[in-house]
A and B are shown apart, each in its own frame.
Chain A
Amino acid sequence: MSTVVEELDSIGERRFEPKAKDINEDIAWAKINTDVLRSLERPRPIFWVIFLSAVALFGVGVACEIYQYKTGLGVAELRNPHVWGLYISTFIFWIGMSHSGTLLSAILHIMHADWRKPIYRFAEAMTTFSLMTAGLFVLVHLGRVWQFYYVVAYPNERWTWPNFSSPLVWDATAIGSYLTTSVIFLYFGMIPDLAICRDSATGFRRTFYRLLSVGWQGTDRQWSNFRITYLTIACLLIPLAVSVHSIVATDFAVSQQPGWHTTSFPPYFVAGALYSGCAAIITLFIILRHTFRFEEYMTIPILEKLCKLTFAISMVWTYLNLIEYASTWYGTDVYAKQALIYRATGIYRYWWWAMNFLGSVVPFALAFKALRTHVPTMMVVSLLLNLGMWIERFMIVTPTFAHGYYPWTWSDVWWPNWIQIGIVAGSFGWFTLLFMLFCKIFPSVSMYEVKEMVYHRIRARK
């Protein structure tokens, strides 16, 4: 009997043995301020390297877009069955990327997972900027972009409305609301930190932060209002995030084409979105940690937790992916089955197998502690995962065009040309540009939440 008790005790002890800490709780509040504010002033030189490459890439994208806008979409070598090309694939990619910011900042906020605190700010910024990038693709792919506002439901003198049964109208509405709410959420959560910036800045920066911090004094009343509002917006944002990618999925699921007309698309898209978003957060985590010397805040245990989360989501995605294959394979829809076989054996087969490998096999690297805690490996793995997720979107859109219902269009071999690739590259430049500017102008680690985290941990220790 006694041995059992001893054994139980030892298990208990093992369970409570001290783990690596998410954050050093003895870190002084003043030091938190200095460390984070320093990021607004003097980043490592690599910051400028990244920034300038982003500007260059963006320049390439703008040049391609101007040429395409002037001449017509034909220069992108889009053609009859392949009417969307890379634009819509990359649009889904960017929309997907926006989801994990909300996961970290809103869902984990409600679940009181406090390890999110040092990293949610940049994740939320990532949400906002990737949504803005996705919005650009909608405009880039339109034939008559100067009339994009026809899609928006607004009362007008022509007495006309958009077609409410079209998923693109749902898209415009959902993305519009999600972007607005994310921007408000990002800004609102930043107000106490902007006040800290205001207090330590001088000159025009002081005016800038003073205007943005809207008279924040840190009184009890302000804090209590702030908390309630923050929680309310967080609750509002979660259903929006889920609905946005479900609606993007309905762009395909509502259509009739083989390979798109799939009931499981909405959850599949949401899982894929969280997956690519988490992988992108790991990438940006590592970049920021190095560029702005945030090693004390973006610690390895937090990276580990992030990796575990990504691994869990990658398995959900894999499951939904396999379900889609299985339901198509054993289903009665011969066209969908043919489309699936075409993906695996047609001209896009290497891409398809690469997507399955990168999406479902590579994440197993995250299951090993030695790999998880090794920063350069994680950088490579997270980039590979995101590459896999980009290919996934390419594999959803393109093979269906190449092998749809109509045999007359089957022999068509189509690859994106340099205009499309240039615009896609430009979108990465645009995103990095916005993101790096944000990190330079605004505190990318939430100072007040890190202080809160430290405070709660000290109290728990006592």
Chain B
Amino acid sequence: MSLDNLISNWSKLRVRRPQVDQYKDSPYKWAMVIDLDSCTGCNACTTACYAENNLPVVGKKRFLEGQAMHWLRIERYWGEGEESTQEFPEQGAAFLPMMCQQCESAPCEIVCPVGATHHTPDGLNSQVYNRCIGSRYCSANCPYKVRYFNWYNYPESAWPSPLELQLSPDVTVRSKGVMEKCTFCVQRLTEAKSKARTEKRNVQDGEVVTACAQACPTSAIHFGNIADSSSTVAKMWKAQQVELSADKQKKDMKHEKMPAASEVASGVGASVEAEKLRGYRVFEELRTYPSVVYLERIRSGEV
């Protein structure tokens, strides 16, 4: 039986991703846009994520050991020598919310020995806790290091009674020895899709958002369906000229290509246009084809 299953589905085992117009006929492809210029580094998104996805709070000691389980983390970066010159180090820091990028061609997917992480038809990089054996190869191969492993049996200690009552019933409480990561709040997506299916329609734009997008006070995080070209996120991707299936975006070309002489002469050089673009994806050159677009921060010097 399982052998029949293997042979008849062999072609589905290795699907080339991404393809141009891959999601043309599919109703959903979930994606994000994060505007770094709006991000104030307030950590509301991280807190919302903890509450929504039953993330265990590991405590100070384990946090310092690097065993925190924050699916969404706010990273702080300073320019050369900036940190030491500030009275408060946070002042002038650049913030970057980093979560699973839901890569179209995900490095974690091909290396998982048991297929516990795989691609869903709506473009998510899913994690099957029941199947995970905890080899951690996915995390080793993740360029973004956004996969978190259950180093301890957290349900034992993270929610002492009566705190277990705060757990979301829609989300699995993960046990010791499995890998987990940002799911784009898949429980919300599933609920919205199922509701839309009973009403015989597709999920509308804005009908469902992730917990982080919902909590963000400055609306820096935009979530939506880019298979639907009328959605906000699809429009933002288009405005920034970011292609899902391209490994180099228009914005990056300005650093490489000097405008051709004819273009300069006519004044419509691609570089001129590219100057205005802010959208980029992290590690585009690794050809992971992430689903999250970041909008570059506008620095005070540039204004």
The verdict on A155 contacting B176 (CB below 8 Å), with A72-B152, A143-B149, A408-B98 known, is: no
A74-82, A308-316, A317-325, A426-434 - interface stretch: A74-82
**In the complex, are the beta carbons of B136 and A74 less than 8 A apart?**
no
A28-36, A161-169, A186-194, A269-277 - interface stretch: A161-169
- Please name all residues of chain A whose beta carbon is closer than 8 Å to the beta carbon of B112 when the two chains form the complex: 163, 166
Q: Identify B151's interface contact among A74, A142, A150, CB under 8 A.
A: A74
**Measured CA separation A167–B136 after assembly (Å):** 13
- Please name all residues of chain A whose beta carbon is closer than 8 Å to the beta carbon of B150 when the two chains form the complex: 72, 143
The verdict on A80 contacting B148 (CB below 8 Å), with A165-B110, A166-B113, A254-B111 known, is: yes
Chain B 1-30 near chain A by CB (<8 Å), digits 1 or 0: 111011000000110000000000000000
A70 to chain B, nearest CB (A): 9
- Please name all residues of chain A whose beta carbon is closer than 8 Å to the beta carbon of B66 when the two chains form the complex: 79-82, 412
Q: Does A233 contact B (CB under 8 A)?
A: no
8 A Cβ contacts from A132-176 to B: 141-145, 147-148, 150-151, 155-169, 172
B182 to chain A, nearest CB (A): 14
B139-147, B159-167, B191-199, B221-229 - interface stretch: B139-147
Q: Does A3 contact B (CB under 8 A)?
A: no
Q: Does A73 contact B (CB under 8 A)?
A: yes
The verdict on A404 contacting B113 (CB below 8 Å), with A143-B135, A144-B178 known, is: no
A400 to chain B, nearest CB (A): 8
B130 closest partner in A (C-beta): A147
**Measured CA separation A408–B96 after assembly (Å):** 10
Q: Helix, strand, loop or mixed for chain A's interface?
A: loop
B115 closest partner in A (C-beta): A163
Q: Does B177 contact A (CB under 8 A)?
A: yes
8 A Cβ contacts from A98-118 to B: none
**In the complex, are the beta carbons of B135 and A168 less than 8 A apart?**
yes
Q: Does B114 contact A (CB under 8 A)?
A: yes
Chain B 258-277 near chain A by CB (<8 Å), digits 1 or 0: 00000000000000000000
**In the complex, are the beta carbons of A158 and B2 less than 8 A apart?**
yes
- Please name all residues of chain A whose beta carbon is closer than 8 Å to the beta carbon of B67 when the two chains form the complex: 74, 79-80
Q: Identify B133's interface contact among A147, A167, A405, A406, CB under 8 A.
A: A147
A156 closest partner in B (C-beta): B2
- Please name all residues of chain A whose beta carbon is closer than 8 Å to the beta carbon of B152 when the two chains form the complex: 71-72, 74
**In the complex, are the beta carbons of A142 and B283 less than 8 A apart?**
no
**Measured CA separation A156–B148 after assembly (Å):** 30
**In the complex, are the beta carbons of B65 and A77 less than 8 A apart?**
yes
Q: Does B50 contact A (CB under 8 A)?
A: no
Number of contacts between A and B (CB, 8 Å)? 150
Q: Does A256 contact B (CB under 8 A)?
A: yes
**Measured CA separation A156–B1 after assembly (Å):** 8
A163 closest partner in B (C-beta): B115
**In the complex, are the beta carbons of B134 and A144 less than 8 A apart?**
yes
A254 to chain B, nearest CB (A): 7
**In the complex, are the beta carbons of B133 and A142 less than 8 A apart?**
yes
Q: Does A327 contact B (CB under 8 A)?
A: no
B62, B67, B135, B143: most-surrounded residue (chain A CB, <10 A): B135
- Please name all residues of chain A whose beta carbon is closer than 8 Å to the beta carbon of B75 when the two chains form the complex: 408
Q: Does B39 contact A (CB under 8 A)?
A: no
8 A Cβ contacts from A61-89 to B: 71-74, 77-84
A273 to chain B, nearest CB (A): 21
- Please name all residues of chain A whose beta carbon is closer than 8 Å to the beta carbon of B137 when the two chains form the complex: 166, 168, 251, 255
Q: Does A409 contact B (CB under 8 A)?
A: yes
**In the complex, are the beta carbons of A404 and B145 less than 8 A apart?**
yes
B139 closest partner in A (C-beta): A83
B67, B113, B177: most-surrounded residue (chain A CB, <10 A): B113
**In the complex, are the beta carbons of B149 and A83 less than 8 A apart?**
yes
- Please name all residues of chain B whose beta carbon is closer than 8 Å to the beta carbon of A405 when the two chains form the complex: 143-144, 283, 286
- Please name all residues of chain A whose beta carbon is closer than 8 Å to the beta carbon of B189 when the two chains form the complex: none
A350 to chain B, nearest CB (A): 23
- Please name all residues of chain A whose beta carbon is closer than 8 Å to the beta carbon of B6 when the two chains form the complex: 161
A153 closest partner in B (C-beta): B6
- Please name all residues of chain A whose beta carbon is closer than 8 Å to the beta carbon of B283 when the two chains form the complex: 405
Q: Does A268 contact B (CB under 8 A)?
A: no
- Please name all residues of chain B whose beta carbon is closer than 8 Å to the beta carbon of A338 when the two chains form the complex: none
B94 to chain A, nearest CB (A): 12
- Please name all residues of chain B whose beta carbon is closer than 8 Å to the beta carbon of A143 when the two chains form the complex: 132-136, 149-150, 176-179
**In the complex, are the beta carbons of A406 and B151 less than 8 A apart?**
no
B binding-site residues for A, Cβ under 8 Å: 1-3, 5-6, 13-14, 62, 65-68, 73, 75, 77, 98, 107, 110-115, 131-137, 139-141, 143-145, 148-153, 176-179, 283, 286
Residue pairs across A and B with Cβ atoms less than 8 A apart, 26 shown, are A71-B152, A71-B153, A72-B152, A72-B177, A73-B177, A74-B151, A74-B152, A79-B67, A80-B139, A80-B148, A84-B140, A151-B133, A155-B1, A156-B2, A157-B2, A161-B5, A166-B111, A168-B113, A255-B111, A255-B137, A255-B141, A256-B143, A256-B286, A257-B140, A406-B144, A407-B77
Other A-B pairs beyond A73-B149, A406-B145, 5, CB < 8 Å: A142-B134, A143-B132, A144-B134, A164-B13, A257-B140
